Structure 1
Amino acid sequence: MILSACASPATTAPTSAPATSAPQATTAPGATTAPDTPVLAEVPREQTVILGWSITSAIGTTNPWATGYTHQEGNAFMWEPLMYFAIFADKEIPWLADSMEYTKDDFTELTIKLNADAAWSDGTPVTSRDVKFTFDGQLSNDKLPYHAAFEQFVESVATPDDKTVVVTFKIPAPRFAFEVLMLKFDTGIPIVPAHVLEKEADVNAFAGGLDMPHSGPYNLVLWDANQKIYDLREDWWAVKAGRIATPAVKRIVMVNIGGQVGQNMDIVIQRLVNNEFDAILDVRSGVAKQILESNDKVTTHTGNNPPYGYLDWWPNSLWMNTQIEPFNDVRVRRAISLAIDRDTIDEIIYDGAQVTTIYPFPLYPGLQKFVDSPAVKALEEQYQPRKFDLEESAALMTEAGFTKNSDGLWEKNGATVPAVINGFEGIHADIVAVLVEMLRAAGFDSSTDFSSEAYNNMANGVPGLYMFGHGASLKDPYAALELFHGRFSASIGTTAGNNRFSRYSNPEYDAILDQMAPLSSEDPKFQELAAQALGIYWRDQIDVPIIQWLHRIPYNQTYWTNWPTETNLAMGTNGAFWAHTGLLVITSLKPAQ
């Protein structure tokens, strides 16, 4: 599951930081120790970063190809890509690869040159064989997350020498290097060790374990129900290669705060204010302000100033399974959108800031330019995706064959509209409460489901609405629009893969996306087609866009500085330690003392 997190709005920070000293223990503060826990070397607190996060994956799952693997729970500190992308510096950061260039003008060939010093933690060099193994695996294994992209584009992978890889594409693939091969936020692929995985009969069943060779700087030395502990390996290849200085962080303790991401936040925030945690998941605006007032060592992306965070890549919509009744009727989907008063949401939740949205992608510079184009503005005027109109909503429901029952809820054939909103309490409690009220006022049978089954309900396509984000586009709209391509439309009774919950299928839409795929985003034809696809997104109300997402991550500077902020870009990445670029965040920290 790809999930960005914020704290519940009901959570409050303590009014002042207690005078207790920060813990000196190198294990998680308050954690219990299992009888068979290995004895670890002592590492001073001032050389240790302690992070608060929910850890739910099966203990020992470190193999990026294993079923149930996630990079968000610390595995990002072990695995590396060919290149990173730093969103706020707007630059590529060469990593395992020194270069990655299209060597044909029509984007049908990509040549990758690997760094001479790149090596796995067991001393084995990272070579073109590893890259080819990684790419061939994605191409042949339909259980891997980028299988569809490799199958669509990749014709062959050649290795002229140990440090060169040449990818030949079936069709022009101008975005492949960026979208697939660079790690940023929660997308892209790491390179995996061929000499390890080629020995496994089932690479998806192989968990990896604590000893799996990896290229990243930290070894996982302990993992139990309470915590994961990573220790720096002093022979990390990237230091010798000049990619980065030797990290000052010698140990990372990721404390399991329990539950789903965003739960148990009262205790988590208290521990941050007490200087027990150096960073935690992101919080709501009011909570961020209280934290800053409680401990002057804590900062955020915008310091002590609102909005205390940065624009994330995860704009949230109300998704729904468009294959099942009544959500297979575009009139019902549009009626739901018309029931949402986005201006009021901005006013009562975000203090007047325009956080609500009508787009399935974040408005980073390239995307802002796209939505400001005359073609998109004309379509916005035509479809009015931001419109709030209860009368028009009611007219559409009536046209769709619904009538109001004695409770004032729309009903058809004895059934109301199942508009329960599945979401995550720690990050959605404020917005979902308002959405439920608006939907019920418009006659939809709405309530909340913040249970542990909420995500499974989304993936399984059960009747209801799903509050979730679109983790896709950063530079141009293709990746977000591709979320709704028919090839990802999972049939009823199967699980929707990679958070593509709409199960939407439309040959007209697919044809437009297929024409866009081989075009550079700078091509006027691409821009024309992208506008057409966005118009269909609005026309068919594939989902109901609600809000842009902001990450308000509190960084405690008692022990560590150089967190990435608006005034201190550090390596230019977003500041989420749980993202793929979290490795760069942690390895760039500087001691405060």
Structure 2
Amino acid sequence: AFVEEWVESVEAPDNYTVVIHLKKPNPRFHHSFRMWGGSQGQIVAKHIWEGKDPTTFKNFPPVETGPYKLYGVYPELNMFVWERREDYWAKDLGYFPAPKYVIWRYAPPPDIDLADFVKGMVDAPLPHLFSWDMIKSAMALTPNVTIAPFLDPCPLGISTFNLEKYPLNIREVRWAIALCLNKEKLSELYPMAERADISPYPWPIPKYGSFDKYVPMAEKALKRIKEELGFTYEYNPEKAAKILDDLNFIDRDRDGIRETPNGTKLSFELMSRPQTVVQEYYIAADLAEELKKIGIDASVRTVDPAMWHEFGALGQYDIAIGSLCTGAWLPGDIIYMLDNFHSKWYVPIGTRAIGGGVHGANPRYQNPELDAIVDQLWTIGPDDPKADELYEQGIYIIMKDMLSAPAVEKMFVQTFSTAYWTGWPSEDNMYHVPYIWWPEIIFVLFQIKPVAAPPPVTIEYVGTWFTGTVEAFTGVDGKSYGPFAKGEYAIIPKEDADRLVEQGLASYTAPMATEITEALSQLSELTDKMSR
């Protein structure tokens, strides 16, 4: 869809140049090739792809431009292994990773993950599952821990609502639900880091400094919304209940659950990934309880992460709880967020959306006014004199219509083991994004170095005479010695000899022959008699 909308033609005049001709102006088009931008038109190797059907060709094993090639896939181990290319093209430019092999594996249950990390069997666990409690346990069990807390670009909360479903198509109902997000409590309960900030604005945007220029626009939008609707983005269940009362969504049969004006129960299902993906499930569970307090029959449906995206694309959900991800965070331009709510992405429930929405959950939203704003913004640069007015109105529309409701800013603590490798990103040296699932992890692999091997231990050996019976023992060099009888001689590690001498079981001087010992004794007695 992206290529069809924007690209007229493409040519490669030489081996190092690609010229892309656009159908219409797009000063942001170059951002399409950043990070995961390949999904919008990836440049691939001609000798591999030419003549292939891109809808069926697998490119396996993959041929790409990175410093690693696929070594093997091991389904029985949930593991795949990459081997370093010794002929990597950027090696002469100073970019060459120290690890010869990089192994990715499916994360095991938390207790096994923790044990493997402490033993040094895992260098970098996935922070989605490696909770703050696990990190603290690891630090108590081994000194080989480096942590790199990093604010994720996707806040957590209500990703979006399904506007094709009644009464979620009513703006005030969505606001009432959002007002039941106990953000302060959720911030304190956040399980993946020592702390998590509260999300201040109802938009799918992280608290990144690159968005500071839009904050005055967000504040102005919230002020307008308060003046026009009387709503403030806060935890306020009393206000939420009043909104529903005013809509005539009341408990008519006195069973504790509100009914809509047509008599149906006010009931919503909150779709979340499972509890093992703990950074979002706890929000769904808490919100369900809060909604019940104001008379909404709310339940949580947990689904596999892949199915979360599938149901979100098909519109088979009521309220999607999860990450509030859009493409805006990478270039720091909210046009990418606004575009996710463009009517071009609308499809009816049951038809798979091919784009738009929040983290793949399509809200089935349509607003011609927002469409016009987005269409105009795409054709002008972010610094164009007309841009700020368009940005401001777009922010106002998506906030007023309550399309997303973040609760907390997602902080991940990427944890690294220093048992075998050093030079990882850390709190004190966050030289790069530390996340192991981002493509940029390659720049971390360029930086880490193997831990220096300890100097070899020098063991001194000495000749030793045994003055008593000594049972067999293992020396400090790991070898077996003995048993020894009194008077025997052996060469053993000095550290072991010192111990035996101290115990009176050995000596560094040879014992005298029996005849000499007896003669000396007789001489001593004779000398003693003569002295009398």
The correspondence for 1:207, drawn from 52, 58, 64, is: 58
- Aligned partner of 2:47 in structure 1 is 195
- What code does the residue aligned with 1:410 have? R
CA distance in 2: counterparts of 1:467 and 1:512, whole angstroms: 28
Query: Superposed, which structure 2 residues align to 1:477-516 within 5 Å?
Result: 477-498=334-355, 499-516=360-377
**1:554 match: secondary structure:** strand
* Closer, same or farther: CA 516–492 of 1 in aligned 2, 3 Å: same
CA distance in 1: counterparts of 2:238 and 2:328, whole angstroms: 34
**1:317 match: secondary structure:** strand
Query: Superposed, which structure 2 residues align to 1:409-488 within 5 Å?
Result: 409-412=257-260, 413-425=263-275, 426=277, 427-452=279-304, 453-469=307-323, 470-474=325-329, 475-488=332-345
CA distance in 2: counterparts of 1:203 and 1:555, whole angstroms: 38
1:525-544 CA distances to partner (integer Å, 9 max, x unpaired)?
21221121111111111122
CA distance in 2: counterparts of 1:515 and 1:173, whole angstroms: 10
* Closer, same or farther: CA 299–185 of 1 in aligned 2, 3 Å: farther
- What code does the residue aligned with 2:131 have? R
For the pair 1:298 / 2:141, whether they are aligned, the reply is no
Give the aligned length.
Answer: 425
- Aligned partner of 2:208 in structure 1 is 364
* Closer, same or farther: CA 187–589 of 1 in aligned 2, 3 Å: farther
- Aligned partner of 2:184 in structure 1 is 343
- Aligned partner of 2:155 in structure 1 is 315
Query: Superposed, which structure 2 residues align to 1:265-414 within 5 Å?
Result: 265-282=110-127, 283-301=130-148, 309-318=149-158, 319-349=160-190, 353-358=196-201, 359-371=203-215, 373=216, 375-383=217-225, 384-404=231-251, 406-412=254-260, 413-414=263-264
- Aligned partner of 2:479 in structure 1 is none
For the pair 1:581 / 2:440, whether they are aligned, the reply is yes
- Compare relative contact order (CA 8 Å, sep 6+) and give the higher one, 1 or 2: 1
**2:442 match: secondary structure:** helix
* Closer, same or farther: CA 486–420 of 1 in aligned 2, 3 Å: same
- Aligned partner of 2:494 in structure 1 is none
* Closer, same or farther: CA 337–357 of 1 in aligned 2, 3 Å: same
CA distance in 1: counterparts of 2:249 and 2:175, whole angstroms: 14
Deviation at 1:583, TM superposition (A): 2.3
**2:90 match: secondary structure:** helix
- Aligned partner of 2:462 in structure 1 is none
CA distance in 2: counterparts of 1:192 and 1:385, whole angstroms: 49
Deviation at 1:555, TM superposition (A): 0.8
* Closer, same or farther: CA 354–185 of 1 in aligned 2, 3 Å: farther
For the pair 1:526 / 2:376, whether they are aligned, the reply is no
Contact 1:315 1:549 in 2 (8 A): yes
* Closer, same or farther: CA 458–266 of 1 in aligned 2, 3 Å: farther
The correspondence for 1:539, drawn from 400, 404, 407, is: 400
- What code does the residue aligned with 2:97 have? P
**2:269 match: secondary structure:** coil
For the pair 1:218 / 2:75, whether they are aligned, the reply is no
* Closer, same or farther: CA 402–161 of 1 in aligned 2, 3 Å: same
Query: Superposed, which structure 2 residues align to 1:27-42 within 5 Å?
Result: none
The correspondence for 2:417, drawn from 532, 544, 556, is: 556
Unaligned ranges ≥5, structure 2: 226-230, 453-532
**1:156 match: secondary structure:** strand
- Aligned partner of 1:163 in structure 2 is 16
CA distance in 1: counterparts of 2:103 and 2:157, whole angstroms: 34
1:553-591 CA distances to partner (integer Å, 9 max, x unpaired)?
111111112222343244x3x111211212222233211
Deviation at 1:189, TM superposition (A): 5.8
CA distance in 2: counterparts of 1:313 and 1:267, whole angstroms: 29
**2:71 match: secondary structure:** strand
Contact 1:298 1:555 in 2 (8 A): yes
* TM-score, normalised by the number of residues in structure 2: 0.74
1:367-414 CA distances to partner (integer Å, 9 max, x unpaired)?
02221x2x3322122325522322332233234442225442222333
- What code does the residue aligned with 1:206 have? F
Deviation at 1:151, TM superposition (A): 2.9
* Closer, same or farther: CA 472–254 of 1 in aligned 2, 3 Å: same
Deviation at 1:190, TM superposition (A): 4.5
1:234-265 CA distances to partner (integer Å, 9 max, x unpaired)?
1111213x1x432111001112236xxxxx22
The correspondence for 2:95, drawn from 214, 236, 245, is: 245
- What code does the residue aligned with 2:238 have? E
Deviation at 1:360, TM superposition (A): 1.0
* Aligned Cα root-mean-square deviation (Å): 2.5
Deviation at 1:316, TM superposition (A): 2.7
- Aligned partner of 1:37 in structure 2 is none
Contact 1:418 1:446 in 2 (8 A): yes
CA distance in 2: counterparts of 1:208 and 1:543, whole angstroms: 37
CA distance in 2: counterparts of 1:480 and 1:152, whole angstroms: 18
Between the two proteins, what is the percent identity of the paired residues? 27
- What code does the residue aligned with 1:551 have? F
CA distance in 1: counterparts of 2:196 and 2:302, whole angstroms: 26
- Aligned partner of 2:523 in structure 1 is none
Deviation at 1:272, TM superposition (A): 1.2
* Closer, same or farther: CA 581–513 of 1 in aligned 2, 3 Å: same
**1:300 match: secondary structure:** strand
**1:411 match: secondary structure:** coil
- Aligned partner of 2:105 in structure 1 is 255
Deviation at 1:198, TM superposition (A): 2.3
- Aligned partner of 1:15 in structure 2 is none
CA distance in 1: counterparts of 2:211 and 2:241, whole angstroms: 33
Instruction: Give the helix-richer structure, 1 or 2.
Output: 2
* Closer, same or farther: CA 245–432 of 1 in aligned 2, 3 Å: same
Structure of larger gyration radius: 2
* TM-score, normalised by the number of residues in structure 1: 0.67
CA distance in 2: counterparts of 1:267 and 1:449, whole angstroms: 27
**2:268 match: secondary structure:** coil
CA distance in 1: counterparts of 2:322 and 2:353, whole angstroms: 13
CA distance in 2: counterparts of 1:277 and 1:528, whole angstroms: 50
CA distance in 1: counterparts of 2:41 and 2:434, whole angstroms: 20
